[in-house]
């Protein structure tokens, strides 16, 4: 009887060990802070005055965040996985990238990404708040990648606090995403979000080709409605719900090519906003070069607006990222962002740590 009892316990322990080895969970993230002056022309009237903030800033080189991800081998080539990621601000300890206001909601807990999915030889399907394929193409084909403050492309397209023109965020909420297997260096992503009674759907797609030092990518995106929480919680005037209707279509082409320690980048985006009757044409070029124990980064981007509103904006940035280790880097950046109200000048030094 005792032998049978210990055999049952041994079997249970082995089963638990098998589950433990199949399921893996990882905690990771980035902590980034800088000191200096950051300037921008905030959203508003075409001649809205430039604002300047001098002090400690969070997430300058890369937006600070933490995340958890895990996967489980289900057998037969099938894998289940999840990702949960949340933004935070190092300078004041607050969650999210920004606070809410009468016309913009603050970030929710897992606003960077929150997905669950299945993957196999046929590709991967994820449900939840997925990375925007347009955002991924922009990151891969600009010289400053994830730098939301100083990358001309990121700043002009996605950084709404600095008059970024896109209605969509870096993720698409309530979405279904399919990622193909990589064949012959080619991978594509298709992602859609139903309108849920608010207008037309939101969708985005991209294709990425990689062959040694060459990377090419194309992306398209359509925003038909403002996603939650903005479309459900905000008021623009007493008892008047926020207008959730959008009709904006964006196309982007981009590439990057490396020769020795130098890598050159180029992209072109066209943003058509039927709701406002404007078209933005946005070229961006840049270069990175290994220098010492770090990387020199340079980029210039322009936004030419035509239609019901005409404007021209040019953003130029120079920076250096010095690697103290594989996880920790020091950096210094300077930028001139020329807008209708003048030139917003920014310059910072900071530290980024990945864990």
Beta strand pairing status for 51-58 and 240-241?
Answer: unpaired
Q: How far is CA 36 from CA 43, 44, 58, 224, 354, in A?
A: 22, 25, 11, 38, 21
For 252-286, how does the pLDDT look when each residue is reduced to its tens digit (9 = 90+)?
999 999 999 999 999 999 999 988 899 999 999 99
Averaged pLDDT, 134-140: 97
Residues 6+ apart with CB under 8 A from 7: none
Q: Please state, in angstroms and rounded to a whole number, the distance separating the CA atoms of residues 82 and 69.
A: 6
Contact 287, 172 (CB under 8 A): no
| pLDDT confidence bin for 194, thresholds 50/70/90 | confident
Each residue's pLDDT tens digit, 25-68: 999 999 999 999 999 998 888 788 999 999 999 999 999 999 99
User: What's the pLDDT tens digit per position in 104-136?
Assistant: 567 889 999 999 999 999 999 999 999 999 999
| In the predicted structure, residue 204 carries a pLDDT above the cut 90 | yes
Q: Which of 13-22, 92-101, 160-169, 198-207 has the lowest mean pLDDT?
A: 13-22
Q: If you write DSSP's letter for every residue of 125-187 in order, what string do you get? A: EEEEEEEPHHHHHHHHTSTTTT-TTT-HHHHHHT-GGGT---SS-SEEEEEEEEEPPPBTTEE
Mean of pLDDT over the chain = 88
* DSSP class of 198: S
Residue 104 per-residue DSSP state: B
Domain residue extents for the chain: 27-62+132-173+200-354
The answer, yes or no, to whether residue 239 has pLDDT greater than 60, is no
When mean pLDDT is compared across 158-162, 212-216, 299-303, 317-321, the lowest value belongs to 158-162
Q: What does 220-282 look like in DSSP terms, one character per residue?
A: EEEEEEPPTTHHHH-EEETTEE---EEEEEEEEEEEEEEETTEEEEEEEEEEEETTTTEEEEE
Given a cut of 90, whether residue 219 has pLDDT beyond it is yes
Q: What is the pLDDT of residue 241?
A: 43
Q: Specify the pLDDT at position 104.
A: 59
Predicted structure pTM score: 0.86
Per residue in 149-184, pLDDT tens? Answer: 999 999 999 998 899 999 889 999 999 999 999 999
Task: State the fold for domain 27-62+132-173+200-354.
Answer: Porin (2.40.160)
Q: Answer whether residue 75 shows pLDDT above 90.
A: yes
For residue 83, the surrounding DSSP H or E stretch is strand 78-87
């Amino acid at each position: 009887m005792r032998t049978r009892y210990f055999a049952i316990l041994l079997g249970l322990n082995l089963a638990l060990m098998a589950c433990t080895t199949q399921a893996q969970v990882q905690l990771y993230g980035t902590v980034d802070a800088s000191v200096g002056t950051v300037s921008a022309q905030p959203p508003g009237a075409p001649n809205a005055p430039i604002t300047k903030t001098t002090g400690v800033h969070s997430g300058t080189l890369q937006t600070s965040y933490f995340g958890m991800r895990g996967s489980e081998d289900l057998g037969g080539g099938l894998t289940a996985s999840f990702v949960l990621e949340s933004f935070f601000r190092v300078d004041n300890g607050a969650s999210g990238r920004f606070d809410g206001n009468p016309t913009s909601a603050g970030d929710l807990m897992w606003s960077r990404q929150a997905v669950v999915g299945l993957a196999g030889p046929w590709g991967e399907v994820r449900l939840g708040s997925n990375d925007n394929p347009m955002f991924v193409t922009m990151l891969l084909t600009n010289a400053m990648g994830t730098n939301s403050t100083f990358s001309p492309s990121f700043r002009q397209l996605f950084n709404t606090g600095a008059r970024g023109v896109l209605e969509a965020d870096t993720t698409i909420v309530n979405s279904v995403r399919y990622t193909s297997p990589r064949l012959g260096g080619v991978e594509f992503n298709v992602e859609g979000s139903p309108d849920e009674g608010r207008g037309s759907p939101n969708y985005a797609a991209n294709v990425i080709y990689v062959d040694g030092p060459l990377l090419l990518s194309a992306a398209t995106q359509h925003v038909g409605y403002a996603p939650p929480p903005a479309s459900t919680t905000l008021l623009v005037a007493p008892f008047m719900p926020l207008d959730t209707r959008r009709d904006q279509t964006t196309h982007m082409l981009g590439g990057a090519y490396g020769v020795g320690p130098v890598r050159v980048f180029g992209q072109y985006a066209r943003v058509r906003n039927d709701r406002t009757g404007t078209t933005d044409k946005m070229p961006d070029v840049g270069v990175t070069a290994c220098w010492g124990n770090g990387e020199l980064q340079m980029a210039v981007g322009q936004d030419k607006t035509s239609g019901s509103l005409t404007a021209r904006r040019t953003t130029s940035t120079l920076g250096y990222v010095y690697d103290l280790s594989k996880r920790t880097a020091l950096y210094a950046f300077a930028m001139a962002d020329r807008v209708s109200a003048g030139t917003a000048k920014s310059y910072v030094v900071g530290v980024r740590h990945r864990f």
